[in-house]
Structure 1
Amino acid sequence: MTVTLREAGEADYPAVAAVMSAANPRHAWTAETLAHETQGLLDHPLRPHLFQLLAEQGGQAVGAALTYQLPGMFHPDRYQAEVMVVPQAEGQGIGSMLADALEAHLESRGAREVLAGTYEDHPRGLAFLARRGFTEALRVFDNVLDLGEFDPAPWAEQARLPDGLRLLSLPELMAERGEDAAWRAYHAAYAEAREDVPRTGEATPLLYGVFRQREEHPGFLPGGVLLAVTDAGEVAALTELYGDAADPGRLNTGLTGTRRAWRRQGLGLALKLAALDLARQRGARSLWTGNASTNVPMLALNERLGFRPQLAWIEMRRGNLAGGGV
């Protein structure tokens, strides 16, 4: 049966999200989430590029491909690329058709570095990327905690913040300091902490206006933003819980981080424990977080708490702007 490719638009978000979820059920998408993420790209002050393709067979969506510039790690010559095929349509050359179309588009854009990836248990995907000149750049593990198996009792002492800090949720800080002041304190801590998160390129500064858009994310939980706050209203450390698009019994961790001046005082552990308590209160069955293989301190902390690593996502790269490009 003939496969046709066409550029995808807003009306295709349900079909694209369905393909993305079928290709990677560990991290499901909804049309609403895809619309939010896409609009965030289109509205970003850096004006990152976005190109989306849909593959159809017999009137059904069987594959999708995206290439875009990631605002959080922006360079005009760096692109992310994703090629996804629903499992029942694999092995028919659909992925190659989509990849060839992306390749032509990226070549027309003068791309010098392209990032793509797949899971370590997907040899077809790894071989596919290797044939196209990609090599491994970074491994990221999903770490999952079964909340039914977590016992908070042994952690009571570590759950306390040091003197001079209080545990507040974002809404509680807003009630004390006002909405804008609370968000700016949250942003200042987040922007500093994220600079030290392992990634394959240099982090782009996070603008406050862009940061505020996270409150519009379908999975954003204001009460799930937990902050270690000084008496002056400064946020010293933070952790975030997000709802999951496909599983109401699952919560996902955003960033857990501590500002440099406050590190090595147990703030990250205390906030993680507070998040676990909140997740249990909300009736969640599991908590997911993602950590790069090079983020040894956070991997060790999660292991102590009982998180178990899942299969690794292998981020692969072709070209390297840090090394002078292709």
Structure 2
Amino acid sequence: MLEAKMRDFRHSDYDSYASIHNAFDPTHPLFLERARYEDSCFGRTRYRMKRYVAESDRGEMVGVGGFEHLFFSYHPHRFALSVEVHPTWQRRGIGGLLYERLESELRSAGAEAAWAIVESTHSESVAFVRKRGFAEKRRFLESTLDLTSFDPAKFEPRAKELESKGIVFASLAEEMSRDPTSGRKLYELENSADRDVPNIVKPKPMSYHDYNIIILKSPVMLWEGSFVAKKDYLYVGSSSVIKSGLKDTIEQGFTAVRPGFRRRGLAQAVKLMVAKHARSHGVKSILTHNDSRNEAILTVNEKLGFVRRSERIEFEKVLQD
């Protein structure tokens, strides 16, 4: 076993953190702009995070581990836990040392449970968490829409039908430029829809204060490519997009439809607006992640042409009875 030194993560560690993460999981490179901003939200909101690094005896950063509240699966006593060790330094006990530090701190703080999200194809990572008492709770599906072959024409009739019934589609950038209450209206819409999205816990709703910091002020949100559906002045549907950090690719965020306006094709229509705008601006692919139990949105995605690319497993370990 290597004698690794543990220390707190520093702001100057981000580039080394990205190198470790990208070597550990090259199919999902760390998008530093997003990572830096979201880290800055901890401490300014109700969400908490702690991160450590492992260094070799030469001072080389060889591993990273941390725990944090999840923004959209918030429970005050449950945290997501992650451990990443550079492949050239694996099988030397570094991951185990990081994990032991993290679990000890969580137990001391009275945490009820820890979650670990692992690529289903990373057999060693799956074995690592299972060995430490984690059990599978749910799966996330990652899918992509190829905009180079996407044909919006066959989806236009439904959108036109909605417009004939008084639904108006607009980009959120337009809405924000002319309506100072648009951010709060989007927050209220997403909260109304989020209650019905499958989750690992029944999350406590995000406050508008935190939503404003984490979402509305985020530099990675692409409001000009995000769309809302309105009925008079009421927001009844929306779909947001985010910078992905990948070439010619954007990430689809939350697609929300207000209860009472469902089963009318609104989710498909707002996602259509997103896809059309993205394609017209040279984007070649849209990436999205969904709970495998969210049959409604998975059906919409399949109709639009999203193809499943990979799968992640969320594990849970109970820390306090």
The alignment's TM-score, normalised by the length of structure 2, stands at 0.92
What is residue 114 of structure 2 aligned with on the other side? 114
Contact conserved, 1:71 with 1:204, CA < 8 A, in 2? Answer: no
Query: How far did residue 280 of structure 1 move?
Result: 0.4
Does the 8 Å CA contact 2:145/2:305 hold for their aligned counterparts?
yes
Matched AA of 2:275 = L
Q: Which residue of 1 aligns with 2:261?
A: 262
In angstroms, what is the RMSD of aligned CA positions?
A: 1.8
Contact 1:141 1:311 in 2 (8 A): yes
Unaligned residue ranges in structure 2 (runs of 5+): none
Q: Describe the shift of the 1:195–1:26 C-alpha distance in structure 2 as closer, same or farther (beyond 3 A).
A: farther
Contact 1:63 1:83 in 2 (8 A): yes
Match of 1:170 in 2: 172
Q: 1:216-235 maps to which residues of 2 (within 5 A)? A: 216-231=217-232, 233-235=233-235
Equivalent residue number for residue 141 of structure 1: 141
Cα deviation code 1:208-262 (max 9, x no counterpart):
122122233232112122000122x2110000111112x2311000001100011
1:120-159 C-alpha deviation (Å, 9 max, x unpaired): 1011111111111100001001011111121222222123
> What's the % identity of the aligned pairs?
29
d(CA) in 1 for partners of 2:39 and 2:177?
A: 32
Partner in structure 2 of residue 51 of structure 1:
50
Say whether 1:276 aligns with 2:275: yes
The one-letter code sitting in structure 2 at the alignment partner of 1:272 is K
For 1:227, the aligned partner's letter is V
Partners of 2:108 and 2:44 lie apart in 1 by 23
Write the deviation string for residues 289-321 of structure 1: whole angstroms up to 9, x where unpaired: 00111001111111111111122100000128x
Alignment-mate amino acid for residue 203 of structure 2:
A
Q: In structure 2, what is the equivalent of residue 6 of structure 1?
A: 7
2:75 touches 2:203 (CA, 8 Å); kept in 1? no
Q: Distance in 2 between matches of 1:301 and 1:13?
A: 37
Q: Say if 2:66 and 2:83, in contact at 8 Å, map to a contact too.
A: yes
SS in 2 for 1:17: helix
Which residues in structure 2 correspond to 1:63-102 (within 5 Å)?
A: 63-102=63-102
Is the 8 Å Cα contact of residues 3 and 55 (structure 1) preserved in structure 2? yes
In structure 1, stretches of 5+ residues that fail to align are: none
Q: Secondary structure at the match of 1:73?
A: coil
Stretch of structure 1 that moved more, 33-42 or 236-245: 33-42
CA deviation digits over 1:6-31, x for unaligned, max 9?
11122223322332333233433244
Question: How far apart are residue 65 of structure 1 and its match?
Answer: 0.4
Residues 286 and 88 of structure 1: is their aligned pair in 2 closer, same or farther, counting only changes over 3 Å? farther
Q: Which shows bigger deviation, 21-30 or 58-67?
A: 21-30
Rate the CA distance shift 1:192–1:123 in 2: closer, same or farther, 3 A. Answer: same
Q: Give yes or no for contact 2:227–2:239 (8 Å, CA) kept in 1.
A: yes
How many Å separate the matches in 1 of 2:235 and 2:28?
30
Report the Cα distance in structure 2 between the residues aligned to 1:110 and 1:230, rounded to whole angstroms.
46
The separation in 1 between residues aligned to 2:177 and 2:111, in whole angstroms, is: 47
Number of positions where the alignment pairs a residue of Structure 1 with one of Structure 2: 316
Aligned-pair distance for 1:71? Answer: 4.4
Q: What secondary structure sits across from 1:42 in the alignment?
A: coil
Offset at residue 188 of structure 1 (A): 1.1
